[in-house]
Amino acid sequence: MAADEPAQNTAEEPEAPPPLDPEILERRRHAMQHVRMLGDPILKTKARAVERFDDELRDEVARMAILMNDALGIGLAAPQVGILHRVLVYRVEQDSPTIALVNPEIEWSSRDEEISEEGCLSLPLIHVDIERPVAVLVRARDEHGDEIVIEATGLEARVIQHEIDHLDGILILDRTSREQRKAAMRALREAEQAAANAA
Ligand code: ZN
């Protein structure tokens, strides 16, 4: 898969090539201003478990869902918007409802692993191959405090694992090989240079 085709099996990145509708692009640009970027220390910090399931938490989840959708992402973790809570939202299919997981725990992961390319809203322009279990069983609470258990495979399992990593201060660059990390950072510098030259 080419790095610039976020449509397929990449965690968190846009589920389709960015549309050309200027209104949608403007919404995405605005949403991305609220997303913490690589280099922000909050992305390397372990988030705290949520203890109160109140309106404040539900507002936080609703806001994260809007930001994720506006950013054309398929997953978002609270630290990415500057909140050190163990909260994540995701929506793998365009027409499925957004799911919020509070205090998620991976109870079981398959021995079977798979390598796939991942991107991250906090690391635009970076795509790296990451090996993860194909299936996971996750226990969490929803934003009302009710317990939920999710059996996920494929892209859903990958997104959940990617987002739980964020809650532990782990980024995709921490999960890939040294060579891939170097290549990704080189590509990023080149893209930034090209953008600077074009400006
Ligand atoms: Zn991410």
> Which phi-psi region, left, alpha or beta, contains residue 39 (left: φ > 0; alpha: ψ -120 to 50)?
left
17 falls in which pLDDT band (50, 70, 90)? low
Band (pLDDT 50/70/90 cuts) for residue 13 is: low
Which CATH superfamily hosts domain 22-198?
Peptide deformylase (3.90.45.10)
Token pair 């090989």: residue: 177
Q: From the CA of 171, how far away is ligand 1's center (Å)?
A: 7
- Cα within 13 Å of Cα(1), Cβ side: 16
Do the annotations mark residue 166 as ligand-binding?
Answer: yes
CA angle, 134 then 162 then 186, to 5°:
110
Which residues have CB less than 5 Å away from ligand 1 (the ion)? 12, 120
121 Cα to the center of ligand 1, angstroms: 6
pLDDT in tens, 22-55: 999 999 999 999 999 999 999 999 999 999 999 9
Where is pLDDT greater, at 18 or 196? Answer: 196
How many whole angstroms from 59 Cα to the centroid of ligand 1?
A: 21
Q: Do 61 and 143 touch, CB atoms closer than 8 A?
A: yes
Give 3's pLDDT tier (boundaries 50, 70, 90): very low
pLDDT digits 0-9 by tens, 92-118 = 988 889 999 999 999 999 999 999 999
Is residue 34 marked as binding? no
Most confident of 3-7, 128-132, 188-192: 128-132
Ligand-binding site membership of 144 (annotated) = no
For the chain, the distance separating the N- and C-terminal CA atoms, rounded to the nearest angstrom, is 29
Q: What is the mean pLDDT of the chain?
A: 90
163 is catalytic: yes
Calpha distance 170→162 (Å, rounded): 9
For position 6, what pLDDT does the model report? 39
Would you give the distance in Å from CA 146 to the centre of its chain? Answer: 23
Helix (H, G, I), strand (E, B) or coil at 18: coil
Tokens of 147: 């317990």
For residues 185 and 173, what is the distance between their CA atoms, to the nearest angstrom? 9
For residue 173, report the distance from its CA to the centre of ligand 1, in Å: 10
Q: Work out whether strand 87-90 and strand 99-109 pair parallel, antiparallel, or are unpaired.
A: antiparallel
Q: Which of 156, 163, 179, 190 is flagged as catalytic? A: 163
CA of 42 to the centre of ligand 1 (A): 13
